[in-house]
Amino acid sequence: MEKKIPRPVIKRLGLYYRCLNRLYDEGIEYVASKDIAERLGIKSSQVRKDLSYFGEFGKRGVGYNTYELMERLEDIIGVNKYWNVIVIGAGNIGSAIANYEGLRKEKFNVIGIFDADRSKVGRKIGRLTVKHFSEIDDFFKKNIVEIAVLAVPENAAQMVVDKLEELGIKGIVNFAPVKLRTNIPVEDVDITLSFKSLSFKIERNIE
């Protein structure tokens, strides 16, 4: 195993990738760490340090070849492949995610959406039809599913995770406000927490 990548670096890789995409679209052939940093509001030495965890991609005196670095980042992050995603929970958040073009653009394909509420089953969400959660075993037999989005009520979350783990899911994006007990990678997204952080900042006059 190579040396450990710090968490914040992982978070920034996606930012770099997006930035490189932009630069490429703008027709910029070579870019310096200073320019990337400026666009992202960070330090150039941080950009260079972060990239150095994965190799030497730049030319001294010149900078980074936009296209090349973009491709390297694709390999590193794993966005050079398509990911099959299912959404569990066809409420507000689940539906929005299933419909979200931004995800598709980044090669995360939502191929199924499930709910435990029979009254939601059969409903159309974009090109998808809501299936009952009990159909999930069957779905896994017929499809390759790598990532699951958890958009179910808090009290159902752990049970769903146990099931997904058993079915061999590779990772979970969790919108339920609970700490999940599982061994597979989880990314927690908590929207109300963002609002609370914001209200805290407003009250304290931060930034």
Partner DNA sequence: TAGATTGTTAATCGATTAACAATC
In sequence order, what are the beta bridge partners of 124? 129
Report d(CA 156, CA 179) in Å as an integer: 12
Q: Is 148 annotated as a binding residue?
A: no
Report d(CA 74, CA 47) in Å as an integer: 16
Under rule CB under 7 A, residue 89 binds DNA = no
Under rule CB under 8 A, residue 168 binds a second copy = no
Under rule CB under 7 A, residue 51 binds DNA = yes
For DNA, which stretch binds (CB under 7 A), given 47-55, 78-86, 131-139, 195-203? 47-55
Nearest partner of 139 among 118, 157, 114, judged by Cα? 114
- Residue from 93, 130, 157, 160 touching a second copy (CB under 8 A): that is 93
First-to-last alpha carbon distance for the chain, in angstroms, is 40
Under rule CB under 8 A, residue 203 binds a second copy = yes
Report d(CA 153, CA 179) in Å as an integer: 13
Number of residues this chain uses to bind a second copy (CB under 8 A): 60
- Which tokens sit at 161? 């995770």
For a second copy, which stretch binds (CB under 8 A), given 43-51, 56-64, 85-93, 158-166? 85-93
Q: Which residues bind DNA (CB under 7 A)?
A: 6-9, 31-34, 42-46, 48-49, 51-52, 56-64
